Amino acid sequence: MFKKLFQAIYVSSLVICSVTSVRCQFRLNDFPSSTKSYIGFRFDDDFLFLGNRDEQYTGGLEIDFLHQIKTKVKRNLFNPFSGGRRYFSVNFGSELYTPYNVSDSLIILNDRPFSSFIYTSFGLIAQSKTSSRKIIFDFYFGVMGSDLPGKIQDKIHTIGDSPPANGWNNKLMNTETILPNFRLIYQRNILIVNHIKPTLFNSFGLKKIHFLNLGYYTSNLGIGLRSSLRSHFDSSEAKHTIQLKKPIKKSSKARWELYGQGLLELVGRNTSLQGLPWMDSPYTINRDEIIRHVWTIELGINLNYKQLYLNYHIKARSKEFIKYSKTWHSWASISIGRKI
Residue-level pLDDT, tens digit, the chain, 340 residues: 444 444 443 333 333 332 333 333 445 545 555 568 899 999 888 778 776 677 888 888 899 999 988 877 777 766 778 778 889 999 999 999 988 887 777 777 778 898 999 999 999 999 888 889 999 999 999 999 988 887 787 777 776 667 777 778 888 988 899 999 999 999 999 999 987 766 678 889 999 999 999 999 999 999 999 999 998 888 888 888 887 766 555 557 788 999 999 999 999 999 999 999 888 888 889 889 999 999 999 999 999 998 899 999 999 999 999 887 678 888 999 999 998 8
DSSP 34-64: T-SEEEEEEEEEGGGSTT--S-EEEEEEEEE
Burial 140-159 (b: 16+ CB within 10 A, else e): bbbbbbbebbbebbbebbee
Cα dihedral sign, 305-87-144-319: positive
The b-or-e profile of 182-219 (16+ CB within 10 A means b, else e) is: ebebebebeebbbebeeeebbbbbbbebebebbbbbbb
Domain that holds residue 46: 2-339
Helix (H) or strand (E) holding 271: helix 271-274
Q: What total of structural domains would you count in the chain?
A: 1
The answer to whether 222 and 210 are in contact (CB under 8 A) is yes
Q: Give the number of other Cβ atoms within 10 Å of residue 293's Cβ.
A: 11
* CATH number assigned to the domain comprising residue 27: 2.40.128.140
Q: Which contiguous run of DSSP H or E holds residue 118?
A: strand 115-127
Maximum Cα–Cα distance across the chain:
66
| pTM of the predicted model as reported, rounded to 2 decimal places | 0.84
